[in-house]
A and B are shown apart, each in its own frame.
Chain A
Amino acid sequence: MPIRFEDRTARFEGACTVEEAIPLAEWLCAVEAPRLDLGGCTALHTALLQVLLADGKPVAVPPEDAFLKGWVMPVLGKR
C-alpha cells in the first residue's frame, strides 16, 4: 500500500502509482486540515502530483528522494 491514509495523515511510501490518484483526491476533499507526509516516497506518479498541485495544501514532511526534493518540491511549495 503505497499511500496509507491514517486519520488526518496521508503517508506516502515507496513508489506511489496512478491507482492512488482518485482515493487521494477523495481523501483530500473529505478530511479537514489534512497532513501530507511524503518522507518515504521514492516515486510519485504524475497524476498524484496533479492532485497535490490542484489541492495546494502544504507538504508537512518533504520527500527524501533527491529527484523529488530537488525538482518537484519547489513546485509544490509555490502553491
Chain B
Amino acid sequence: MSALFEQFVLESRELLEAAGAALLRLERDPADKAAVNDLFRALHTLKGATGLFDMAPFTRMVHAGEDALMAVRDGRAAMTGDLADRLLELLDTSAAWVDGLELSQSLPDDADARARAQEVGLRAALGGPAEAADGGTPAGFAWVDELPEADRAKAAGRTVTAIAYDPAEDCFFAGDDPLDLCRRIPDLLLLRIESAGAWPPLTDLDPYRCALRFRALSGAPKDELTRLFRGVPDQVALATVAIPSPTAETAPPAAPASLAPASLATALLREQARILGLPGSDEETASRRAAVLRAARNILAAEGRNTEGAALDRAAEGPTPALIRCLESLADGPAAATPAIPAGPARRGLRVDAERMDRLMALVAELVVAKGSLPYLAREAQEGRSADALAQGIKEAHGRIDSIVGDLQDAVLRLRLLPLSRVFDPLPRLVRDTARRLGKPVELHLSGGETEADKDILDILGEPLLHLVRNALDHGVEPPERRRAAGKPEVAAIRVQAFQDSGGVVVEVSDDGAGIDAEAVRRKAVAAGALTAEQAAALTESEALRLIFLPGLSTSATVSDLSGRGVGMDAVRGAVEQAGGRVEVASTPGVGTRFRLVLPLTMMVTRLVTVETAGALYGFPVTLVTGMQRVPHGAIRRMKHAESVVVQDAVVPLLRLRRLLNLPEDERERRGEAVLLVDLGGQPVALVVDAFRERAEVVLKPMTGLLARLRGYAGTAVLGDGRLLLALNLRELL
C-alpha cells in the first residue's frame, strides 16, 4: 500500500465519521446551516480524495450525495427522514468500501451497480425525475462501455437506448413479470440476464423474490421505452448512448489487481467440493463431510468472509449435492450482495500527541545514561571492591533504572490511551436508526467521552457497548403508550457515561425503562435448567438479576431481530471479562436498569492473585476474586461427588484446582483447606488450592501457536524471580 493510499484510507474514515455526525445533527434540526455545510464539506473532500485514485464508482456515488446536499443548501429540496436515510446508507456503503479498499485495494465487483442504486435513490428522495445526467456515457451505464465486443456487434455504430432494469424484490406480487417485459422491448439488440448475488441452494431459494436484473440495448427511441416501462419507473433507468463502431479503439477494462489471494481460496474450496463428491462408505463420507465443513469455515474466516458462513451452515444441514453446490458458489468468490467484511475491527492508525512522543524520547535518553553506570560497577567488582560497597552501587543503579522503567511504562501506556468518544461515536447513529425502527422516541445522553482508556480496551469495549445500548432500546424502554400510561415522559432517556475510578475505567449504560423483572429471570433460569426452583428462590434480587449473564438466558419474552436470541448478555460479560473487567447490573422495576462495565485502564499490566498448587504457580485476575479463606475440613459438605461450602450464608459449590487440572491429589496432612472465592459472573465458586501466594502485577503473554487452543489458560507471565506463572481462565476449565 502506498503512503498516499494509506493516508486516503485514514482520512476518508475521519471524513465519513464527521459526515455522519453532521448528518445526525442536520436531521434533528433541518434548519442547521452549519451542519449542512459541514456535511457538504466532508463529502466534497472525500470526493476529491477518491478522485486521486482510479475508483470512478466511488467518486460518482459521493458526487450524487454532494448534489443532493447542494439542493438542500439552495433550498430546492427539504431535509426529510427519507433523504437522511439515503445519505446514511451512502455513508455506510462508503465506509464498507473504504474497509474493502484497505484490505484488497479494490472496490467490490458490484460497486458500479450500487453507486447507481444510490444515485437513483437519492434522486427519488429529492423528488426529482429518474433521469441520468447528460454527457458521455451516463452515470450508472458504465456496463455499456464494458460489454464484450461480440455483444455490442449488433449495436455497433448506432445510437441506442440502454436499459438497466433492476426489478424490485417483491415485484412478482405486483403482477410484474420482468422477463416478459424484456421480451416486449422493441428492436432488442442485447439482453443480459444477471443474478443479483450467488444462488442459494435450491431448497433455500424463495422463488417469489426476484433476484434477477436485466441489462439491455434497444434500437428504439427512449420515449418509446419509457412508455413500455411506465409501470416500473422506479426500477428502471434509461439512457441514450452511442455505441462506437468496432474500428474505434476501446481500452480493455483493467482487471482488478487483487485476485491472486482469492484464487488460492477458490482452489481450496473447489478441492473441498471435489473431496465431498468422492465415493466411499457412509462412515467415510460422514467424517469427510465434517472435515470439509471445518476446512471451508476456516478458509472463509481467513478470507474475512465470515458472513458467508451462514450460507454454508444452511447447506450443511441439507443433502451432500446441495453442499457441493454451495461450496462451488463460495469458490466463485464473495457473494456480490454482501461485500467482504474484514475479520475483526479494522485496524486504525494511531495518532500520537507530539508531547507524549517527546516525553518518551527524554526517558530513553535517561535510560541510556543510567545504563552507563553498570560497566563501571563491573570494573569495580573485578578490581576487588568490597561486597558492601558493590551492593550499595548496584542498589543505586537499580533504583535509578527502576524509576525510569516505571516512567517509561507509564509513558508508553499514555501513548496508547485514547478518548472513549471513539467508542461513543457510533452510538447516536445506532440509537437514531433503532428508535426509528421501533417507533420509540429516545434521547441519548452521552457524557465522559473525554475519559481515556487503552486502545485494546476500547477495541473490546465497542461491541458490548453497542449491545447494551441496543438492549436498552429494545427491551428496556417501553413503547410510548405504555410510558404515557405509567406517567413517564414519552421520550425515553438512555444515558451512557464514562468516568475514571480507582485504577480503572467505568462505563455505565442506563435507561429509564421498565426495568428487569427478577422474578421472570428466575423462572426463565429454572425453565432453562440452569438451576433448581429452590436454588432460584434462595437467590437475592441482585443475584437473580445476574442470571441474565448466563448463556442462553434472555430477559425478553419475545425474541427480536435487534437484540438477538439471548446470547447477547453472555457475550457482553465474556468480552468484558476477557479484558480483565467485570459487569454489574442494577434494576428497579418501573424505574429503569443500569449496567456498569468496570474495565482496567490497560491490558498491558494485569493484576493477578497467585496461588500454589502441586508445586506450580497459577494466577487468577484480581477482578474475579472475591475472597480468600481457610476452611476446616468439617465445614465441607459432600453430596456424592459434589462438594460445597457455606460462605456468608450461601451454599457455594466447591471445586479443587488439582482435579480441574488433572493433577495428583494432595496427600499431605492439613488442618484445613485454602479456599479462593471466585465470582464467575453471578455464579460464586469456591476453589481449593494448596496455598495462597502474593498478588502480582504481570505482563501477560497470550498463548500462541498450538498452545493457543488450550482455552483453560489465559496466558503466561514471568515473575520477578524468574519463575513462570500460568494465568487460568477458570470459566473454560469448569
Contact = CB atoms under 8 A, between A and B. Distances in A.
Contact of A45 (B179, B199, B201, B325): B179
Contacts of B325: 56
Contacts of A46: 167, 172, 177-180, 210, 212
A51 B206 CA distance: 9
Interface in B208-246: 208, 210-212
Interface in A5-43: 18, 21-22, 24-25, 28-29, 43
B205 interface: yes
A53 B212 CA distance: 10
Contacts of B193: 49, 71-72, 75
Interface string A54-79: 11100000000001000110010000
A56 B179 contact: no
B211 to A, nearest CB: 6
A51 B179 CA distance: 14
Chain A interface size band reads 20 to 34
Given A18-B172, A71-B193, A72-B193, A47 B202 contact: no
B200 interface: yes
Contacts of A45: 177, 179-180
Contact of B211 (A29, A50, A55): A50
Residue among A46, A47, A48 with max Cβ neighbours from chain B (10 Å): A46
Given A29-B202, A51-B202, A43 B180 contact: yes
Nearest to A32: B321
B202 A22 contact: no
A44 interface: yes
A53 B178 CA distance: 15
Grouping DSSP codes into helix (H, G, I), strand (E, B) and loop, the A interface class, with mixed when no group exceeds half, is helix
A50 to B, nearest CB: 6
Contact of B212 (A25, A50, A55, A56): A50
B183 interface: yes
A53 B177 CA distance: 16
A47 B176 CA distance: 10
Contacts of A44: 179
B205 A54 contact: yes
A44 B181 CA distance: 11
B349 interface: no
B683 interface: no
Given A46-B172, A47-B207, A75-B193, A54 B177 contact: no
B385 to A, nearest CB: 87
A28 B325 CA distance: 14
A57 to B, nearest CB: 10
A63 B354 CA distance: 73
Nearest to A49: B179
A50 B169 CA distance: 12
B403 interface: no
A56 B199 CA distance: 9
A76 B182 CA distance: 17
Contact of B191 (A24, A25, A43, A71): A71
Nearest to A21: B207
Contact of A47 (B182, B195, B208): B208
A49 B214 CA distance: 13
A24 B208 CA distance: 12
Contacts of A75: 193
A75 to B, nearest CB: 5
A29 B199 contact: no
A50 B191 contact: no
A43 B181 CA distance: 11
B592 to A, nearest CB: 49
Contact of B177 (A18, A25, A51, A72): A18
Contacts of A22: 207
A50 B203 contact: no
Contacts of A28: 202
A20 to B, nearest CB: 9
A47 B172 contact: yes
A22 B207 CA distance: 7
A76 to B, nearest CB: 9
A51 B205 contact: yes
Contacts of A49: 179, 193, 212
A25 B205 contact: yes
The listed residue with most B CB atoms (<10 A of its CB), out of A47, A56, A75, is A47
B212 A54 contact: no
Contacts of A47: 172, 207-208, 210
Contacts of B178: 46
Nearest to B175: A18
A56 B193 CA distance: 15
A54 B199 contact: yes
Nearest to B201: A54
A68 to B, nearest CB: 9
A47 B321 CA distance: 23
A51 B183 contact: no
A50 B207 contact: yes
Contacts of A54: 199-202, 205
A24 B182 CA distance: 23
Nearest to A65: B183
Contacts of B182: 71
A27 to B, nearest CB: 10
Contact of B202 (A55, A67, A72): A55
A53 B195 contact: yes
Contacts of B207: 21-22, 24-25, 47-48, 50-51
Given A22-B207, A46-B212, A72 B199 contact: no
A29 B322 CA distance: 10
Contacts of B211: 50
A7 to B, nearest CB: 20
A24 B207 CA distance: 10
Q: Which of A24, A43, A50 has the most chain B CB within a 10 Å cutoff?
A: A50
Given A18-B177, A46-B179, A47-B172, A53 B210 contact: no
A5 B200 CA distance: 24
B180 A25 contact: no
Interface string B691-710: 00000000000000000000
Given A50-B205, A56-B325, A71-B191, A43 B183 contact: yes
Interface string B113-125: 0000000000000
Q: Which 9 A-B pairs have the closest CB atoms?
A: A21-B207, A54-B199, A71-B191, A46-B179, A54-B205, A75-B193, A47-B207, A46-B178, A67-B183
Interface of B: 167, 172, 177-180, 182-183, 188, 191, 193, 195, 199-203, 205, 207-208, 210-212, 325
Given A18-B208, A22-B207, A47-B208, 17 more contacts: A18-B172, A25-B202, A25-B207, A43-B183, A44-B179, A45-B179, A46-B172, A46-B177, A46-B179, A47-B172, A47-B210, A50-B211, A53-B195, A54-B201, A56-B325, A67-B183, A71-B191
28 contacts: A21-B207, A22-B207, A25-B202, A25-B207, A29-B202, A29-B203, A43-B180, A43-B183, A45-B177, A45-B179, A46-B167, A46-B179, A46-B180, A46-B210, A46-B212, A48-B207, A49-B193, A49-B212, A53-B195, A53-B212, A54-B200, A54-B202, A54-B205, A55-B202, A56-B199, A71-B182, A71-B191, A75-B193
